[in-house]
Structure 1
């Protein structure tokens, strides 16, 4: 794709509504040979030739429902991370299942890549994101799936409300701990809770804490330098101030890159 925001419309319509030959050509043109595909009911990993599996998935999709009504609601492009978000509404009807009709809305997340010395964008992964009440319509049509999910969500909300009331003292303790108004025993208990949570967070994403650890380590080194007389107090203040300014600038720049480069359009 030369322009993902503009070109994605024709790509999506061809993949979902084109003839089998047009669908095949679109996959070969816009997907990398090692592209991956993720859906609530199927997935591929990324390996040499994995695009062949994507061909099979889209081919079966076309066999089940040769005619699909489809509308692109909105498109957003994260230029920094090369991620294209496409919100789609479609009506999927399996022709050999009597009275089957599944109107669903999903957000397709396309991870793009640009080969070296090329201005074109290619799809290296597709991830179709459905809310629970949407994907159940594929196997529980006629409103049955919607009713089950609605019942489940209703009772989950009631359950959350009851537990929020029962455990209100814990929420009060959290607030008191944040405001440093707890007793020694309460502080020990909340410290234990924080350690448990920290270990679990590090277990799932240890790398995310490295930056904060690095800042703390640097601050400690500056403090030790002041104590030993190696670094003057004025120099330490300058280092800390410049570090704070640099950190703030980096944060602002990161936000600008993340959100300032996000392009959003709503098709007519």
Structure 2
């Protein structure tokens, strides 16, 4: 890539949503570093010589599980819709580029449907952090990390579990407050109840929240 912020949307589509395994493989060879690393809730590829082939195999299996894809990409400053094939999987994408650290953040919303799954696909969100390496003026993907909230990851596999996970998370929040109140009655981490002067951080003035 010569301009990662502008090109990453198209590159992401080529890597994940190509209509041909040959196009996908060529995209990996063109845009992904040979020693790429990858981290995901279900798998990890440590950076090593020819680890790109291992990551390609993961992406190929990804397409075997969900072979028909539509990609909808919304990048910074513009909208782009690309029709690749009949839809059983699709995603929206927004990018943030930290040029100084050669890092891209992709905020993705996807709908993924496993080929044999009887469940209706549901939208799920993930954050992808991509580290780039520069070689002779061109940028290559050298590390990728995929981050999901538990309920969003559940939507990929068993969508009906997502409400139960959210309910459990809400219950944990309520329980945390109950436990904190009990602990404070026992003398643990109890505020003194008097006004405390905070150090001047320069972020805001007094109690202003705007």
Q: Which residue of 1 aligns with 2:171?
A: 155
CA distance in structure 2 between the partners assigned to 1:82 and 1:92 by the alignment: 29
Aligned residues: 174
Q: C-alpha displacement at 1:138, in angstroms?
A: 2.5
| Structure 2 gap segments, 5+ residues each | 71-89, 198-210
Q: Mark the structure with the bigger radius of gyration.
A: 1
CA distance in structure 1 between the partners assigned to 2:155 and 2:120 by the alignment: 10
Q: Which residue of 1 aligns with 2:110?
A: 90
Q: Which residue of 2 aligns with 1:101?
A: 121
CA contact under 8 A between 2:133 and 2:140: conserved in structure 1? yes
CA distance in structure 1 between the partners assigned to 2:128 and 2:192 by the alignment: 38
CA distance in structure 2 between the partners assigned to 1:174 and 1:119 by the alignment: 58
Q: Which residue of 1 aligns with 2:202?
A: none
CA distance in structure 1 between the partners assigned to 2:92 and 2:178 by the alignment: 40
| Structure 1 gap segments, 5+ residues each | 180-268
1:119 aligned onto 2:119: no
Greater per-residue strand proportion = 2
Q: Give 3-state SS (helix, strand or coil) of 2:189's partner.
A: helix
CA distance in structure 2 between the partners assigned to 1:48 and 1:59 by the alignment: 20
Rate the CA distance shift 1:129–1:97 in 2: closer, same or farther, 3 A.
Answer: same
TM-score, normalised to structure 2, is: 0.76
After the TM superposition, which residues 169-248 of structure 1 pair with which residues of structure 2 at under 5 Å, given as runs? 169-172=187-190
Rate the CA distance shift 1:73–1:52 in 2: closer, same or farther, 3 A.
Answer: closer
CA distance in structure 1 between the partners assigned to 2:153 and 2:24 by the alignment: 23
Deviations 1:108-148 (A, max 9, x none): 11011112xx221111011111111101123322x2x2122
CA distance in structure 2 between the partners assigned to 1:105 and 1:125 by the alignment: 20
Q: Which residue of 2 aligns with 1:43?
A: 44
Q: Which residue of 1 aligns with 2:73?
A: none
Q: C-alpha displacement at 1:173, in angstroms?
A: 5.5
Query: Which 10-residue stretch deviates more, 65-74 or 32-41?
Result: 65-74
Q: Moved runs in structure 1, 4+ residues, more than 6 A?
A: none
CA distance in structure 2 between the partners assigned to 1:162 and 1:56 by the alignment: 48
**Structural RMSD (CA):** 2.0
Q: Which residue of 2 aligns with 1:257?
A: none
Rate the CA distance shift 1:164–1:82 in 2: closer, same or farther, 3 A.
Answer: same
Q: C-alpha displacement at 1:98, in angstroms?
A: 2.7
Q: C-alpha displacement at 1:13, in angstroms?
A: 1.1
Q: 1 or 2 for the larger relative contact order (CA 8 Å, sep ≥6)?
A: 1
Deviations 1:226-245 (A, max 9, x none): xxxxxxxxxxxxxxxxxxxx
Q: C-alpha displacement at 1:104, in angstroms?
A: 1.4
Which of 156, 164, 167 is the aligned partner of 2:183? 167
CA distance in structure 1 between the partners assigned to 2:192 and 2:42 by the alignment: 40
CA distance in structure 2 between the partners assigned to 1:132 and 1:51 by the alignment: 27
TM-score, normalised to structure 1, is: 0.60
Q: Which residue of 1 aligns with 2:77?
A: none
Which of 148, 151, 155 is the aligned partner of 1:130? 148
